[in-house]
Amino acid sequence: MIQVEINDNLEHLGAFIALIERTARGHAPGSTLHIIARHDALRHFRLQPWNRRVWNSLTESIPLALNPHEIEAVYFWYNQLEELARLEEQRTAFASEAEWATTFETLIQQILASGSPLDRKSAPKFPVNGPSFGSISLIW
């Protein structure tokens, strides 16, 4: 179920960046107008609130379902989402709107590129504390 929640958040983030890209589509990629259109769209459109219900509700079960590497990876991943929310709210703390937009979009692209922290390709071959048999019901 944690994997489903993560995928849901990734889907919303992907849809957000697709909206930004559609907004700037009329300009040559990399052109000044393209960059301005992307920055304007980033300022105008808002991210959806992140879904953490499953992660938060399973706090006591997580150590039974995930190995320490997976727990750390998921925790870091959710912190990146919280950092996005913080950046969205604190854009005036940056020297310029362009600096904010670049920082904001870079973090979005990093999260999307990294994908799910529970993707088995990025997990260690052998769990740190042995196999985690309970992960079947929580990760799905």
pLDDT, tens only, 108-133:
999 999 999 988 654 433 333 333 33
Rounded to whole angstroms, the Cα distance separating 30 from 56 reads 40
Rounded to whole angstroms, the Cα distance separating 23 from 49 reads 21
DSSP code at position 123:
S
Average the pLDDT over 41-66 and give the result: 83
Six-digit token pair at 30? 């990399």
Q: What is the pLDDT of residues 62-102, one digit of tens each?
A: 888 889 999 899 999 999 999 999 999 888 889 898 899 99
What is the sign, positive or negative, of the torsion defined by CA atoms of 51, 52, 53, 54? positive
pTM of the model: 0.76
Q: What is the pLDDT of residues 5-27, one digit of tens each?
A: 899 999 999 999 999 999 999 89
Rounded to whole angstroms, the Cα distance separating 124 from 41 reads 38
Higher pLDDT among residues 134 and 6, named by residue:
6
Q: What pLDDT, on the 0 to 100 scale, is given for residue 120?
A: 63
Q: Which of 20, 76, 81, 79 is nearest to 48 (CA)?
A: 81
Q: What pLDDT, on the 0 to 100 scale, is given for residue 58?
A: 74
Q: What pLDDT, on the 0 to 100 scale, is given for residue 121?
A: 55
